Amino acid sequence: MLNKEQTIASEINHERVLVLAGPGTGKTTTLISRYKYLIKNGIKPEEIICCTFSRKAADEIKKRLNEQDDLNIKTYNIGTFHSLANQALKELAPSINIKVPKEYLTMEKQRKDIIETIKRENPEILKKFKFNEKLPSEILKYIDDVRERLVDAEDAFVEASEIDDELFICYSKIYKLYEEYLSKNELIDYPRMIQYAFKAFFHDAENSKEYISKFKHILIDEYQDINFSQKSMIDQILRGGSNLWVVGDDDQAIYGWRGSNVKFILDFEINYPGSQKVILKTNYRSENNIVNAANNLSKNFIQRHEKNIISFGNNEGEVKVFQNKDEFDEAEQIHKLIKVHKNKYPYREFSVLARTNNLPQELIEHLLNTNIPFILKNGIDFFNDPSAYDLLTASAIAGSIKPEKKWNRNLQPKLYGFAKKLSEETDWKKKIRSLATYIINNLPESLTDEELEDKVSEIEFCHKYLSKHDNPEKAFEKLKRIYNSNINDDAIHVGTIHGAKGLEWETVVLMGCEDDKLPHSLTREPHEFEEERRIAYVAITRPRTNLYLTWAAKRDGFDKIQSPYLNELLGKKTELKKAVSEKVISNDTLRYLTFRDEVREYKEQQKEQNKPMSKEEITELIANNRKAINTSIADGLRKGNEWKIRDTGNGFLYEVGYTAIKDGPGINKRHQILADVFHGKIDMPNTLKEEVAKTWGKPMSNDRLRKMRNTINTALGAQKGKRNASIQAINKWEKDLHFIDHVLKKEI
């Protein structure tokens, strides 16, 4: 039975709809009801796209649809953004000269191996930078970041040159080699799927028109987690005439670190003029005390959709803060809370959450010593953590994983043989990594990521335990005890806040509520503090009845103070909001590479060697090179008194008066310039005709539109890379890109 708001959201008849669903308000129920409503009203399942952010969520939607109405939803368009992109590529790849890949890179290790190969075959590219084994991961982060902005390898190089960043220049070269490797070997990874799908929709509009026009409705779950490339792909599909219905909660946008951008849900009504908004207000999960605490915290968000969430429950349960002397005292306090509530409900209805996966170490030790069963769920991506190999090997050798899986039964005899060998080795810790490789290579392909994560749910803790013990016997015994807890169905959940999103329990303890843990010590920018507050919001909305918040006055031997969010949720004043609100908030949570100490040192050395020019020298330099500067982009590198010029032709837009910087033309004027360039009403300067005309293509062509888009996107990327980026300029460029994609594109 749906309530009034859920019914309106399910049955609304409008082209663009945003459903704001707070915690416990029935988000998934409403989405499923929307799907069923469309089917009931004559829409065929194959005419509906339903996008989720995980296979698990997609499978849950399919399961509930099949159970409730026997719709037999199996192969229809209910899946992740990547599955949608992959489906599109299979149909459209030939028309855009892209081969359907023979192999999908599903493991991060496969991608890292390719980077290692490129590094080995091209040592000159990175000769200035001496990094450790984390280098492939850092390069892949960079590649995924620029891909998420739909920037190809050539434009990435121009962008890196523009901001004069030698590290990014190196990485952009590797990006090009990485793409060439994938193409040559007919491989594809997840980010490339989205990139190619966008290319198919955007650059080959004619061939994709028939494909996208068959979809009548697009439904998107957890819209607050969408990133730029995913949104861009969806916007291209919308050209076929589809209706768009999305559900999400901006207050729960906590994945900025992996590219999600809360701006898209905040600006939904701006991006889609005339759209309708429906708010689900009733929280059916939590008691009133918890809802009040969450509302108190949400009042401190600087940018959000206003929502007045009310509780369907009453005032049962409690919200309490516990100050502890240290982490040992905190573990004891949590143990006391567990014992009190064990008389009321089973262990599985109790959860301990932490901001980071290393916080509960002392608690884990305490639970082991008191024989309390627990499950470790720390939200760690199995394939992205090198220590996963160590853990999988050690846990399998220890025999702690039950042999219900075929792969385990097949490998077990060999693993125990290895275990015997290890017991005789003095350097057993070194040997364990090579054994891990063997196990990974022998896992059947039928296992999903979720199945592996279920079996090997915790990585960091166990890896630390292994390194603490010199005796393999003791180490394996410890692992066995941990995993025996994991097998127990009635066990306490211990994990990170990120891993708990979408879950609920009767009682939740949020531990480690100190000012360098929540918000995290690495938090610097105003938008980062906003996301940290949203992380806290997600944590405190997981319990149904009881919420406990603990912090330690001393942790790891250092004095601490409580998190400012504790005062906020209790309805008290905090200084954090005041400090943050004085700054202009950037909603862009695009991830950028975190420079390592070696890079910072190198860049400082470069600064000393290349002292900045005087104002007089700069003025003279610009005067002597005005023509070159106006007709192309200078990459910022100089030799003597000469600019090193790249003849990209990007200077055309700036030559005809287009700019988004301060005191530039307004939005109407900028869009008029873009339209005139697109229609060929503004002729290219004589200096550009011969060199650049070919690259810009004919008026009203895809080539010209692509060049215009890349020009603005390059400037946008360069601005975002600056420490003191102009938010005003970024917003202008993003609106202009929207004009190109949604107005000019329709004229082709």
pLDDT for res 637: 27
* pLDDT classification of 293: cutoffs 50, 70, 90: very high
pTM here? 0.68
| Number of CB atoms found within 10 A of residue 490's CB | 10
pLDDT for res 135: 78
Measured in degrees and rounded to the nearest 5, phi and psi for residue 246 equal: -125, 150
Quick check: 246 pLDDT over 90? yes
> In terms of Cα–Cα distance, which of 401, 334, 390 is closest to 361?
334
pLDDT for res 456: 41
Task: Name the least confident of 83-97, 268-282, 681-695.
Answer: 681-695
Q: Are 455 and 376 in contact (CB under 8 A)?
A: no
pLDDT for res 595: 28
Task: Name the least confident of 24-28, 386-390, 552-556, 605-609.
Answer: 386-390
* pLDDT classification of 264: cutoffs 50, 70, 90: very high
Task: Name the least confident of 201-210, 403-412, 584-593, 712-721.
Answer: 584-593
Task: Name the least confident of 269-273, 371-375, 597-601.
Answer: 597-601
Helical segments of 386-490, H only = 387-397, 406-424, 428-441, 449-455, 460-468, 472-487
For residue 619, what is the enclosing H or E element?
A: helix 615-624
Amino acid letter, 125: I
Segments of 621-746 assigned E as strands: 633-639, 642-646
- Name the more confident of 386 and 144: 144
Quick check: 721 pLDDT over 70? no
Residues in the chain: 748
- Name the more confident of 513 and 168: 513
The residues that bridge with 440 in the sheet, in sequence order, are: none
* Secondary structure (DSSP) of 273-314: TT-EEEEE-EESSS-HHHHHHHHHHHTT-SS------EESS-
pLDDT for res 28: 92
Task: Name the least confident of 65-69, 77-81, 441-445.
Answer: 441-445
Share of the chain above pLDDT 70, in %: 68
> In terms of Cα–Cα distance, which of 404, 378, 373 is closest to 391?
378
Instruction: Report how far residue 159's alpha carbon sits from residue 169's, in angstroms, rounded to the nearest whole number.
Output: 8
Quick check: 585 pLDDT over 70? no
| Number of CB atoms found within 10 A of residue 610's CB | 10
Report CA-CA distances (Å) from 79 to 87, 157, 241, 458.
10, 34, 21, 27
**Residues 158, 159, 161, 165: what is their CA dihedral angle, to the nearest 10 degrees?**
-150
Report CA-CA distances (Å) from 457 to 297, 382, 499.
31, 8, 11
* pLDDT classification of 439: cutoffs 50, 70, 90: very low
pLDDT for res 480: 54
pLDDT for res 129: 67
> In terms of Cα–Cα distance, which of 683, 680, 684, 703 is closest to 692?
684
Instruction: Report how far residue 288's alpha carbon sits from residue 109's, in angstroms, rounded to the nearest whole number.
Output: 46
pLDDT for res 468: 55
pLDDT for res 105: 80
pLDDT for res 510: 97
- Name the more confident of 275 and 489: 275
Instruction: Report how far residue 200's alpha carbon sits from residue 186's, in angstroms, rounded to the nearest whole number.
Output: 17
As a whole number of Å, the end-to-end CA separation of the chain is: 47
Looking at beta carbons, which pairs linking 571-576 to residues 24 or more positions away fall under 8 Å? 571/292, 571/296, 574/300, 576/300, 576/519, 576/529
Instruction: Report how far residue 462's alpha carbon sits from residue 388's, in angstroms, rounded to the nearest whole number.
Output: 10
pLDDT for res 392: 44
Structure tokens at 690: 């011969």
- Name the more confident of 303 and 358: 303
Average pLDDT over residues 522-549: 91
> In terms of Cα–Cα distance, which of 190, 195, 265 is closest to 225?
265
> In terms of Cα–Cα distance, which of 191, 200, 285, 182 is closest to 236?
200
* pLDDT classification of 23: cutoffs 50, 70, 90: very high
pLDDT for res 584: 28
Q: What is the pLDDT of residues 180-209, one digit of tens each?
A: 999 888 888 888 888 888 877 876 666 678
pLDDT for res 434: 47
Would strands 633-639 and 642-646 be described as parallel, antiparallel, or unpaired?
antiparallel
Q: Are 643 and 621 in contact (CB under 8 A)?
A: yes
pLDDT for res 130: 60
Instruction: Report how far residue 37's alpha carbon sits from residue 293's, in angstroms, rounded to the nearest whole number.
Output: 35
Q: Are 249 and 21 in contact (CB under 8 A)?
A: yes
pLDDT for res 598: 37
Task: Name the least confident of 29-38, 74-83, 323-332, 410-419.
Answer: 410-419
* pLDDT classification of 103: cutoffs 50, 70, 90: confident
Which phi-psi region, left, alpha or beta, contains residue 650 (left: φ > 0; alpha: ψ -120 to 50)?
alpha
pLDDT for res 715: 78
Q: What is the pLDDT of residues 481-498, one digit of tens each?
A: 555 555 557 889 988 998
The string over 189-212, giving b where at least 16 C-beta atoms fall within 10 Å of a residue's C-beta and e elsewhere, is bbbbbbbbbbbbbbebbeebeebb
- Name the more confident of 599 and 436: 436
Q: Are 534 and 265 in contact (CB under 8 A)?
A: no
Task: Name the least confident of 4-18, 382-396, 604-618, 676-690.
Answer: 382-396
pLDDT for res 609: 54
Share of the chain above pLDDT 90, in %: 28
Report CA-CA distances (Å) from 695 to 261, 638, 699, 710.
32, 26, 12, 12
- Name the more confident of 500 and 578: 500
Average pLDDT over residues 211-231: 93
Per-residue DSSP letter, 435: H
Place of tokens 């909660």: 249
- Name the more confident of 213 and 643: 213
Average pLDDT, the chain: 75
Provide the 3-class DSSP secondary structure of residue 31: helix
Quick check: 588 pLDDT over 50? no
Would strands 554-555 and 558-559 be described as parallel, antiparallel, or unpaired?
antiparallel
* pLDDT classification of 127: cutoffs 50, 70, 90: confident
* Secondary structure (DSSP) of 549-612: EEEESEETTEE--B-HHHHHHTT---HHHHHHHTSPPP----------HHHHHHHHHHHHHSPP
* pLDDT classification of 381: cutoffs 50, 70, 90: very low
Average pLDDT over residues 288-312: 92
pLDDT for res 611: 56
Instruction: Report how far residue 67's alpha carbon sits from residue 71's, in angstroms, rounded to the nearest whole number.
Output: 8
Structure tokens at 500: 């708990």
Q: Are 25 and 284 in contact (CB under 8 A)?
A: yes
Q: Are 737 and 715 in contact (CB under 8 A)?
A: no
pLDDT for res 371: 81
Quick check: 503 pLDDT over 80? yes
Q: What is the pLDDT of residues 308-333, one digit of tens each?
A: 899 988 888 899 999 999 999 999 99
Residues 6 or more apart whose CB falls under 8 angstroms from that of 275 comprise: 14, 15, 16, 17, 18, 268, 269
Q: Are 115 and 141 in contact (CB under 8 A)?
A: no
Residues 6 or more apart whose CB falls under 8 angstroms from that of 25 comprise: 280, 281, 282, 283, 284, 309
- Name the more confident of 700 and 395: 700
Q: What is the pLDDT of residues 609-649, one digit of tens each?
A: 555 555 565 555 544 544 333 333 223 322 333 333 333 33
Average pLDDT over residues 428-457: 47
- Name the more confident of 387 and 239: 239
